[in-house]
Structure 1
Amino acid sequence: MSKVGAVSRGLYAVIAFLINAALRVGLNTSLAVAIAVTIYAAATFSFEALKERKEVLELLYWRDTKKSAIALSLTLLAVFILGK
C-alpha cells in the first residue's frame, strides 16, 4: 500500500507542477499581450490627437523657435523640479 501511495503522490506532484507552470506561462503571456495592446492604443490615440492639433505639431517640429524654446524650457524645468 505504501508504494501505491508514494507513486500516486509523485504523480500528483508532477501533474500539479505541470499545471502550475502552464498557468504561469499563460498569465505572463496575457500580461505581455495586454501591455502591447495598451501601448498600441495609446500610440494610435496620441498620433490621431497630434494630427488634429496644429499648435502641437508646430512645437514638435520647431517651426516657431521662440514657442518651442519656451515649451522645452518649461518641460525641462518641470522634470528638474520633479526629479529632486
Structure 2
Amino acid sequence: MVCIPCIVIPVLLWVYKKFLEPYIYPLISPFVSRMWPKKAIPESNDKNKGKGDCKDADINGLTTRGTAEISDKKKKH
C-alpha cells in the first residue's frame, strides 16, 4: 500500500502549480525578490575559468588522455 501523504502531497502540488500559482505568485513575488536578490552567483573576471579543453574528450565528456586499459575479461586466451 501507498501511504496517504505519498498520494495527497503530489496532487496538492500539482493543483497549486497548475491553478493557484498564476494568481498567487504575482502577489508574493515582490516579497520573494526582496528576500533573494537576483545576483545570487558572483561574477568573476577570469574569462577562461569555465572553459575546458574539449578536443581531448570523448562522447561522455571524460578525457581520453593517458593510457587506456583494456579489460582482460573480454579477451580470450
Which TM class, normalised by the smaller chain length?
under 0.3
Higher helix share: 1
**TM-score, length-normalised on structure 2?**
0.26
Could you state the TM-score of these two structures normalised by the residue count of structure 1? 0.24
Please tell me whether Structure 1 or Structure 2 has the larger radius of gyration of its CA atoms.
Answer: 1
